[in-house]
Amino acid sequence: MEAVTENIKNAVHAGKYLTFVLSDEEYGIEILKVREIIGLMDITTVPQTPDYMKGVINLRGKVIPVIDLRLKFSMQEEEHTQATCTIVVEVGNTLIGIIVDSVSEVSDIGSEEIRETPNLGQGIDTNYIMGMGKLKEKLIILLDIDKVLSEGELEMVEEIAAN
């Protein structure tokens, strides 16, 4: 019964993922959540926001909040390179830019290639990880982009985008 439940769960997550790199790890976001990939733009900082909230960009007249995913995941901040880019994703009804080290490719990941998120112990929130995708010899952390930001953080981002 447990195996059947996991198979059903993994089948839901099967699909195309935009893969990108943060530090030495590869991550994936459902391609249906991605609106566009852009190079780094001038970011207007917003005072009194958390470190990972880098500010906002003006993308063709739309104000889009931008977060640095490295800082959100408590990784060390790195200097941006030519490969650094912003992935614009749709979370709820809000467009959010996420800064990543580099974008890799769009990969089709089948349900048989998705494993359940490992239990990392008490106190470690893995709610934003949908599963682990196995692609060739690589492991890809499949993100549930809707859960990367907490409800409160998302409200803050929505307020910034609305102003």
Give yes or no for a contact between 14 and 142, defined as CB atoms under 8 angstroms apart. Answer: no
Of 134, 52, 35, nearest to 87 (Cα)?
35
Regions of the chain where pLDDT drops below 50: none
What pLDDT score does 69 carry?
A: 94
Of 150, 147, 143, nearest to 22 (Cα)?
143
CATH 1.10.10.350 fits 15-162, yes or no: no
What pLDDT score does 115 carry?
A: 87
What pLDDT score does 54 carry?
A: 94
What pLDDT score does 11 carry?
A: 61
pLDDT digits over 72-108, tens only? Answer: 999 999 899 999 999 999 998 899 999 999 999 999 9
**Coil/strand/helix, residue 71:** helix
Backbone φ and ψ for 158, nearest 5 degrees, come out as: -65, -40
What pLDDT score does 121 carry?
A: 67
Question: Domain-by-domain residue ranges, the chain?
Answer: 15-162
What pLDDT score does 51 carry?
A: 92
Question: Per the structure block, which two tokens stand in for 14?
Answer: 């099967």
Give yes or no for a contact between 66 and 51, defined as CB atoms under 8 angstroms apart. Answer: no
- Cα three-residue angle 23-24-29, rounded to 5 degrees: 80
What pLDDT score does 7 carry?
A: 60
What pLDDT score does 1 carry?
A: 56
Contacts 24+ apart (CB under 8 A), 127-135: 130/13, 131/10, 131/13, 133/17, 133/28, 133/107, 133/109, 135/19, 135/107, 135/109
